[in-house]
């Protein structure tokens, strides 16, 4: 189970990343702090900067789409609609509850350092911690007896206009899919180019070119 900074037993859960954090190198900045390449924002990091205790490829029921405008990447953000048809490949990381809370805080543009109340999301599968883009927690299931958690927006994919993601952002998603799921470049490019918000703005050939550059 591991211990926290005070030597106490630290419960763990699976954080299912479906956006840029699928790329383990990108997630490292949320854990240890620093500014990722291509980003305009410096991450403060987690109270516990240690790497994940494990990782797995997972597939979530629902849809990945791109919407709103990221101040970090200057393009659409990736969101997850658990109620839409489809499947979303993700990268699950085994983290402590405190690490997950600190990553969620950074995604919510809040200061890390406070634990999240997970009782509602674990009981009901969903919990809103605010009206913003990544302030809704979702528990799509369990893995090895531990809950799988992620965060997304409170709205449905059909309720917001799509917005094409930047190339730097797409590159992280693509590298995450390759490293976690072992997909070939062609499959990764076709998947990302077909997501709402990217479709019609990015072609599979354009996405593949990002990885070959």
Q: What torsion, rounded to 10 degrees, do the Cα atoms 136, 177, 47, 168 define?
A: -90
pLDDT of residue 7: 44
Question: 15: burial class by Cβ within 10 Å (0-12, 13-18, 19+)?
Answer: buried
Contact 156, 84 (CB under 8 A): yes
Question: 179: burial class by Cβ within 10 Å (0-12, 13-18, 19+)?
Answer: middle
pLDDT of residue 71: 83
Query: Domain extents for the chain?
Result: 12-212
Q: What torsion, rounded to 10 degrees, do the Cα atoms 142, 144, 145, 149 define?
A: -30
State which fold the 12-212 domain adopts.
Hypothetical upf0131 protein ytfp (3.10.490)
pLDDT in tens, the chain (213 residues): 444 443 445 799 999 999 999 999 999 999 999 987 767 778 999 999 999 999 999 999 999 999 999 888 889 999 999 999 999 999 999 999 999 999 999 988 889 999 999 999 999 999 999 887 899 999 999 999 999 999 999 999 999 999 999 999 999 999 999 999 999 999 999 999 999 999 999 999 999 999 987
Q: Please report where in the chains the tokens 């699928």 appear, as a residue.
A: 22
pLDDT of residue 38: 66
pLDDT of residue 130: 85
Alpha-carbon dihedral sign for residues 80, 84, 90, 96: positive
Q: How far is CA 108 from CA 111, 136, 153, 174, in A?
A: 9, 10, 10, 23
pLDDT of residue 42: 86
Question: 31: burial class by Cβ within 10 Å (0-12, 13-18, 19+)?
Answer: buried
């Amino acid at each position: 189970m591991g211990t926290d900074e005070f030597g106490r037993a630290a419960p763990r859960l699976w954080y299912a990343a479906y956006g840029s954090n699928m790329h383990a190198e990108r997630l490292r900045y949320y854990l240890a702090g620093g500014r990722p390449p291509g980003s305009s924002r410096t991450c403060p990091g987690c109270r516990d900067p240690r790497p994940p205790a494990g990782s797995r490829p997972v597939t979530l029921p629902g849809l990945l789409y791109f919407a709103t405008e990221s101040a970090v990447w200057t393009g659409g953000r990736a969101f997850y609609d658990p109620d839409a048809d489809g499947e979303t490949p993700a990268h699950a990381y085994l983290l402590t509850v405190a690490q997950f809370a600190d990553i969620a805080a950074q995604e919510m543009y809040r200061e890390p350092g406070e634990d999240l109340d997970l009782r509602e999301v674990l009981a009901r599968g969903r919990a809103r911690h605010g009206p913003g883009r990544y302030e809704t927690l979702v528990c799509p299931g369990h893995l090895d007896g531990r809950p799988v958690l992620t965060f997304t927006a409170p709205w449905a994919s059909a309720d917001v206009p799509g917005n094409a993601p930047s190339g730097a952002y797409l590159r992280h998603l693509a590298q995450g899919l390759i490293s976690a799921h072992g997909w070939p470049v062609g499959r990764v490019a076709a998947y990302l180019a077909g997501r709402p918000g990217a479709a019609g703005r990015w072609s599979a050939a354009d996405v593949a070119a990002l990885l070959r550059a």
